[in-house]
Every structure is written in C-alpha cells, then in structure tokens.
Structure 1
Amino acid sequence: MNKLLSIFLFVVVFYSCKNNAISYFDQEPPSTTPKLFAPSVVNTKNIELNVVFNYDNTEMFFSRIVDNSFVIHHSELINGKWSKIKPIKMYSDSILVSVACDPTITKDGKTMYFLGVDPKLYKNDITREKLYRIPPDIYKSKKVNGKWELASKVDFSISTEYIETYPVVTEDGSLYFRSNRPSDKGGMHTYRAQYLGNEKFANPVIINTKTEKKELITYVSPDERYAITNGQGKFQITFNDNGEWTKPKEIPLKYENNWRYYCPYMSSDGKYFIYSRKYNTPEKRGWAGVVKGEVYWVKADELLFATQ
C-alpha cells in the first residue's frame, strides 16, 4: 500500500469516527464521579428530571416543572447542532395544569410513551397537592412530519383505573411499567406487555425480579439483557439469565441523605448512567414538597457492570 493511499484511508476513518461520535451538548464526559448533566441547558433553577434520548441520539427529552405542571421538553440535533430547548404540547389549550413526564421512545423514534394524568379527572384550578394524588396512566404521542402530536391514553390493558408508572419501551416495542392493579400477589409490581404490532399489546404479566425490599424495574435495556430497579431510595441492577431475572445488586453511588434517587436511564451508546434526584422540604412528602430536582450522569461500565 503506497503512502498516499495510507494517508487517504486514515483521513476517511478519522472523519467517519468523528462524524459518528455521539454529541452530549458539547459536555466533557463524566468519569466515575457523577456530574450535573448539561448545566443551564437541562439543569436550571427549575425542578428537572428524567433525561432520555432516542435510539440514534438525535433527540433528547426531559421533564421540567413549570407553573405546577410536569412538562416534557426536548432538543433535536440538526446539522450537528442541538436546537434550543422547547416544551412539547401534549394536551389541548384548555388544560392549564397537567402532568407529562418519564418519556420513553420507540426504536424508530416516532412514538413516545410517558406518564400522564387524565385531564378529565381534575379542574384547572386544582392544587399541586391534589393533582399529584390522582392515579397516573401511560400515554403516547406520535411524531408526524417532525412534530409531536397531542397525546392519548394507551389501550385499556395498559392504562387502567389503577396506578401505572415508569413506562419503558424495549427494542421490539414491548412495554415494561409498574402498577398496583389487582393481582394474586397484591401491591405494586413490575409488568411487561408484549407488543403485538398495530399499536396493540398482549395482556401484561408480572415480572419476578427476586426482590427483597420492594425493588421494582424502572429501566430496561433495549435488548432486555439487564434492568435497573429502584428500592429503598437507591438503585439496583438485575440481569436477564435465560428469561430469569437475577437478584438485584445495589449500584454503588454515593447516596446523600434527604435526597431521593429515581428515573435511571442508560445513554444510547451504553457508556453513561443518567439519573435524577429530588429534595423535599421536611414539612411535605411527595412531589408537593419537592423544592429541588437535578439530573446527573456518570461513567457506567465499572459502576454498573462490575456487579455482574
């Protein structure tokens, strides 16, 4: 191979790798010490939570509390530049106070599932405390001609009169979520609904994660090889061993007192663990008392997979 050809191939490979590099808002990637994710872009003086990306890392989503509403925001990677952060309108103009959070995106990037609260169950003058007590459901929005449409509730086998939270869509379109719907075991459990196509799902079945302290799945890898659970204010990881989930092992973060850790997520390249945490005033429990919400990211390989 002559020298000129060698130089040409080097340049092609170099720029190919450079163009395929994943962009995270020009941030310096974190090490094994967690860092705030995109300060002033995602993390602001507002309460923010649950950063997620689509499969090809060209659209980023997160939730922000604005005027007592949970509002999903997003940014798109266009010609190598992230667009300005904008809210996504999920409900009609007549809805002044609403809940839309915990987005999860299908592989084709055209369907978003998220946690929502039925606007018909409350009035616009509802207090923040009452709004957060209404049982949430799982909603979906379709992206048509580059725009996310108004949301609708997922079919009755998924969204019921009971609590449904933390939707996570897998590579084949199936949904994991948590629900306290009636079952032989009672209480809150992780469910999986196999995707059948044409926006239909099989009846959800309970997933046994061999928990001891009510750890429930809140994130599943697209190939369902591993999942992250949440219990006792900490994260755990469990692996799928030929259809059986292993006993969850704690992810060794430095958990700070008085903060609640939730909304685990893995970056689309599998390199970074992204999570949220919130701080409550001592006087109020639940979301009504949250005064600070932040999103962090940290290098994942040693933190998560050394436990396998």
Structure 2
Amino acid sequence: MHKFISILLIIAAIFSCKNNTVLYFDQEPPSAIPELFAPSIVNTDSIELNVVFNDDNTEMFFSRIVDNSFVIHHSELINGKWSEIKPIKLYDDNVLVSVACDPTITKDGKTMYFLGVDPKLYKNDVTREELYTIPPDIYKSKKVDGKWELASKVDFLVSTEYLETYPVVTADGSLYFRSNRPSDEGGMNTYRAQYLGNGKFGTPVIINTKTEKKELITYVSPDEQYAITNGQGKFQITFNNNGEWTKPKEIPLNYESNWRYYSPYMSSDGKYFIYSRRYNTPEKKGWAGVEKGEVYWVNADVLFNTKTE
C-alpha cells in the first residue's frame, strides 16, 4: 500500500513539474540569479521589453521594436501549448509607425491598457527617437470573441495633454500610472485612478512613497499590498502598511553600467520577478542610443527577502 502511494506521489510530482514548465515555454524556473526569459522566443536580436501575463497565465504579452515601431506581441496557451508569437494590431492600417508598450491586463483578461502615442501627432517617416519626444498617453484595447480590438485613448481624467506612462491595473480595475501633469508636488508623480465601472475612472490622486531620490511606482501588486519603484537606475520595493507606503528598499540585482533597468513586473503566480533592461551607447541617451533590449526573470525571493522600514 505504501509503495502504491509513493508511486502516485512521484507521478503527481512529475506531472506538476511538467505543467509548470509548459506555463513558461518549457523553461526551467530561475533561481536567485537572473536569467534571460525565453531566449529565441521572446529575447531575440531585436529590442524586447515588458513581458507580462494575464491573471490565469494563459496569455503572455511583450513589446518588440519593429521598423522603428514599438509593437505589442502575444502568445496564448491553447491545449497545453503556447501559440506562435504574433503582433497585436492596435492601430489602423494607415498608421505605419507607432508606439504600443508597457501592457497591463485586467483580472478578467478582457482589457489591456498600455502606453501609446497619438498617431495624429507624428509623421509616418518619424524615427524611433523622435517618437519618444511626443508625450505618451494611456490607451486601452478590449478582447472580443478572442481578438484584441483597435485601441482607444483612456478618458481625459487619465490621459491628458501631459505625459502619462507606466500604467498598471489592479484587481479591482483601478489604474496606477506616472504623469508630469501640474501638481503641488511638481514634476513627475505616481497617480492612482479608482475604477468606477463602465470604463470610467475617478479623479487620479498622487500616491506618496517615502522616497529620497524621487523613486516612482512602476508596478503594484493586484491587491495593492506591495509595489516596485524605479529610480537612479535600480529597482526598489515598498509595502502598503495600512495605507502608508514603507520607505523603498533596493532590490539586490547585479546592476551593470550602461544598462538601464525598467519595466518591473511579477508573474501572475507571484513566484517570479520579471524586468527589462536596455543597453545604451555611452555617447547617446534615451532610445536614440539603445543597441540592445532584453527581458530577464528571477525568483521572487530577491524581492521579499529585502527588509523594509
């Protein structure tokens, strides 16, 4: 009897491991040492960024630069296998150069928010660096009958004439994002817009963290119990303590010079920290000098073993 039970446990363990690798493109899960995410599938010779998953880990999204456009790609888990990586059409056919990156997916998997640039504000022969001189806004796309529809700008309370970036949607549908809109604090701040239903949001309010060097929230957990900030080229973590955010503490990674670290995210099961980095030539700053863009993942223990005040 004991031998029979042992055999069942072994079979269950094997099945569990196999299922786990299927969820992440047959990759071995990373340890405390960061590793490239899905080499040759997501990470290629192109510039890639922003790997995120929907809540039930059945759809994966990331951005890739294609012919000077930032294009969101995706793959779906169908009958236990990931589909071929394909771009998502989010703008009209007449838009030849575009920006779509930093996707974030609602809990029901039916709405995607992302950073976009109004196609009416640039020419089709615009360069990649020129695209990022235009203030971005937050856009959304709905998934209807299994297909992502063309995107539209989020209502004016969220998307303004000023810069909005890094949208992150919470479990209740509310949005965190960065903006440099006029405020008493001045400069760039993290905002939270409460979701009211029917695609509407309340007036965004500034979220204050106890920062010393203007680190701003670029990821927040679905339950809003912790957030990852980004400042001085490094990641920090802060926890929600009864409505007050703790002082951010640096997440210990092997940060390399001339690489910019950004777009932090967590896998939907909370086990892995996923982030992007890009390499800039020392002579140029911003996207004009980017030569390589990569996505890494690492065991989430590197976050939660970081003590905070």
1:1-308 to structure 2, matched below 5 A, reads 17=16, 21=20, 23-301=23-301, 303-308=302-307
> Alpha-carbon deviation of 1:123?
1.3
Q: Deviations over 1:28-77 (max 9, x none)?
A: 11111110000000000000001000000000000000000000000000
> Alpha-carbon deviation of 1:127?
2.4
Task: Decide whether the 8 Å contact of 1:270 with 1:300 is kept in 2.
Answer: yes
Task: Decide whether the 8 Å contact of 2:106 with 2:170 is kept in 1.
Answer: yes
TM-aligned CA distance change 1:281 to 1:6, over 3 Å: closer
> Alpha-carbon deviation of 1:229?
0.2
> Alpha-carbon deviation of 1:283?
2.6
> Alpha-carbon deviation of 1:125?
1.6
AA at the equivalent of 2:292: K
AA at the equivalent of 1:122: Y
Please report the TM-score for the alignment, with normalisation by the length of structure 1: 0.95
Partners of 2:220 and 2:198 lie apart in 1 by 22
Task: Decide whether the 8 Å contact of 2:258 with 2:281 is kept in 1.
Answer: no
Please report the TM-score for the alignment, with normalisation by the length of structure 2: 0.94
Partners of 2:4 and 2:112 lie apart in 1 by 46
Q: Deviations over 1:136-170 (max 9, x none)?
A: 00000000000000000000000000000000000
Partners of 1:208 and 1:67 lie apart in 2 by 38
> Alpha-carbon deviation of 1:280?
1.0
Task: Decide whether the 8 Å contact of 1:132 with 1:288 is kept in 2.
Answer: no
Q: Deviations over 1:211-239 (max 9, x none)?
A: 11010000000100100000000000000
AA at the equivalent of 1:307: T
Off by >3 Å, runs of 4+ in structure 1: 2-22
Unaligned 5+ runs, structure 2: none
> Alpha-carbon deviation of 1:307?
1.6
| Backbone CA RMSD of aligned residues | 1.8
Partners of 1:72 and 1:159 lie apart in 2 by 20
Unaligned 5+ runs, structure 1: none
TM-aligned CA distance change 1:149 to 1:186, over 3 Å: same
TM-aligned CA distance change 1:237 to 1:3, over 3 Å: closer
Partners of 2:256 and 2:16 lie apart in 1 by 38
Partners of 2:44 and 2:9 lie apart in 1 by 42
AA at the equivalent of 1:217: I
- Secondary structure at 1:156 match in 2: coil
TM-aligned CA distance change 1:37 to 1:8, over 3 Å: closer
Partners of 2:229 and 2:39 lie apart in 1 by 26
AA at the equivalent of 2:55: Y
Q: How many residues align?
A: 306
> Alpha-carbon deviation of 1:210?
1.0
